[in-house]
Structure 1
Amino acid sequence: MLRRQARLRREYLYRKQIEDKAKTIAERKRKLKQAIEDGKSLPTELRSDEKELRKALEYDDAETEATRDHRDDEYAWAGVEDPKVMLTTSHNPSSKLKQFVKELKLIFPNSQRINRGNYVINELVSACRANHVTDLILVHEHRGNPDALIVCHLPYGPTASFSLSAAVMRHDVEMKETMSQVNPHLIFHDFNSKLGERVKSILKYLFPVPKEQSKRVITFANQEDYISFRHHTYAKVAGSKDVELKEIGPRFEMKLFEIKLGTLDQAETADVEWRLRPYMNTSKKRRILNEET
C-alpha cells in the first residue's frame, strides 16, 4: 500500500510538472498570436523560437488551446460516486466542540466521526486513504468555541482552511426541526470569481447528489468574503404556492484564509495556492470570492 501511494504521488507530481511546461508554451503562443493580430513587433523573448510557435499555432483549435489544470483531476470522479467524509477534532476537545462535530456529522450524508485521541495527522491521513475516504474535516476550537475548520480532499488535496465564528448549535436555534437525513440541495450565493468557483467546488463535493423530492436545503451565502452557513427544510403551504422555510441548525460563519495544493500531512511541503494576506480585507477592491475576473 505504501509503495502504491508513493507511486501515485510521483505520477501526480509528474503530471503537475508537464502541466507547468504546457502552460508556459501556451502563454508564449498567446503572446505571439496577440502580436500578430495587433500588427506589432514580436517580443524579444519569442524571437528565438518563433518558427516552432507559428507552426504550433497552425494546428491549434479551441480544444488544444485550452490547457488542462491538475485541479481538473482532483474532483474527476465527483458526482460519479458519493463522497465519504471523515470528521475529527483537535486534541483534547471540549464538550462543546464534541457536540458541534456531532451536529456536523448529521449535516454531511455518508460521514463518520472519529475520536482524535493520540492520533497524529500523518496517521489520520494514512488511515483515511486506506479506507477510501474522500475528504477529511478537522475542527479546532479556542476556549470551547469552534474557531477553525480544515477540509482536506484525498488522496492528493487540496486542503482549504477556514476560520469559524458565531457558531450556534441546533438546540440554540429558535425554529428547531427534526434533522432530516436525506441528501440536501445546495445553494451558493456570490461565488463568481475564479477563487470563488474554487471554494465552491471544495464545499460542493462534500455532499452527494440530491434527489428531486428532497426537502432539505443547505446554503453557503458569501457576503464581503464571509460565508454564512444555514441549514433549512422547506414545505409548501397548504392551499398556496408559497413555501415555508424552517431552520434546523446549526449555523455559523466561515472565512477562507488558505488553500494548499496538498494534504494535511504535507503542511510544510505543499505549495500554497492562495493565502489571506495582511490588510487584504481592508480594501473594497479585495472582495475575492464574488468579484468578477
Structure 2
Amino acid sequence: TSGDPTELVKKYEDVKKAPTVTKDDFKHLPKTERGTALRRALRKDKRARQAEREKLREALGDAAPAKEVPKTIESTREYDVTMVQDDDEETTWKFCFELQKCIPNAEIFSRKGVPLKKVVKQSISRSYTDLIVVHEDQKKPNGIIFCHLPEGPTAYFKINSLRFTKDIPRAGESSSHYPEIILNNFNTRLGHTYEFKKEGEKAALKELGPRFTLRLKWLQKGTFDTKWGEFEWVLKRHEMETSRRRQRFAWGEDALGPHVPVGGKMGNQENPELHTWDGEYRGTPSKGDKLIPDFFYRTPTMGTTYIDRCVTYFISALLCGWVTYHMYYHSGHLFGHFYMPYLYEFSDEELGIPPDDAPDPEYWGNHGKKYGTYR
C-alpha cells in the first residue's frame, strides 16, 4: 500500500475505530449459540483489523503513529520516589566484619538457625575463648550476646546509635595493632590514632570506627542457658531508671533475674530480646523451685458435669426398659427356643388334646352358648 502519509494515518485511525459485530447480528441463532458465535466473530474481526494496521504501519515507516501502551496496574500507578539502598540487607554482616577488625584473631561464621547451646558446645570443642552472637531485627543489628568460654559468664547488650566507618566523617583506616580496652576514666583519649601534620608539632585525633553504644541488659552466670541459668544482674527499667542521671546496679536479692512466671506454658516460648527458644521454662532448681512435670495425671472430666450425668441416666433408662420388655414378652427369643418354646411349635398329640375335627361333641364341637364354646 502506498500513498500520502496523511491519508494513510487517517486510514490507520479509521481502521482502529471501525465498527465490529454486535449481538444483534446473531439473533437468528438459538440463545445457547449466540454467545459463542459472537466471541468467535469478535476475535476474527480483531485479528483482521490488526493485520490491516500492520500493513499500514509498514507503508508509513518512521511516520507511523506510536503503539498504544495497555493500561495495567503497573503502568497506571502513581510514581513513587522511594529508593532502596543496595546494601540494605547486609547491615548485620557489615557490622560483623567491622567488629572483626577491632577484635584480633576473630572469625565469622553464619549461625544458620543452630541453637545457641549447640553453638557454645561446638565453640568449646574447638578451643575458642569467647563467643559473640549478633542479633538482628528487620535486617539491622540490635543486640549482642557475649559469652566467655568455657565457664562463662554471659552478657546481653543492646546496640544503639550504630554508625559504620564510612558514615563517620574523616574516619581513618584500622591497623593491625592490638586495641586498648578502657574500663574506667572514659574521658581519656587513649587508643585514638594520632595524626601529625607536617607543618608543625600539632597533632589531631582521628576516629577509626565503628561507633556504637552497648547497653547491658542482663548478666548470667555460666554459659548461655535461659532454662536453668542463674542471672546475676538484670536491668529492671521501671525500678532502676527513675532518673537519667543516676546509674544503679542491682546485686544479690535485687538481681534475682527476669520476671518469668514459674509454671508450664502453652506454645513456643520466645525471648523477645534473644530471638531464640530453648524449651519451656519449668523453674530454677538453684532457687529452690520444684520442676513442673511435662504431664499431669488426673481424673478425666468425662461424666462430671450436669449435662453428662443427664445423658448417662437417659441412656441407662432406655437400655433398662428395652431389657425388661423383651424379658417379659420375648424371653424365649432371649434365652433360646429349647428353653421356652412357643405353643404353635407343638402338635395336638404332643400337647395331649384332640384334633379340631374330633367327633366328641361334648369336648370339641358346636355347642350352645350355655357351654361357653359357642362359635
Q: Normalized against structure 2, the TM-score is what?
A: 0.39
Return the structure number with greater strand share. 1
Bigger CA radius of gyration: 2
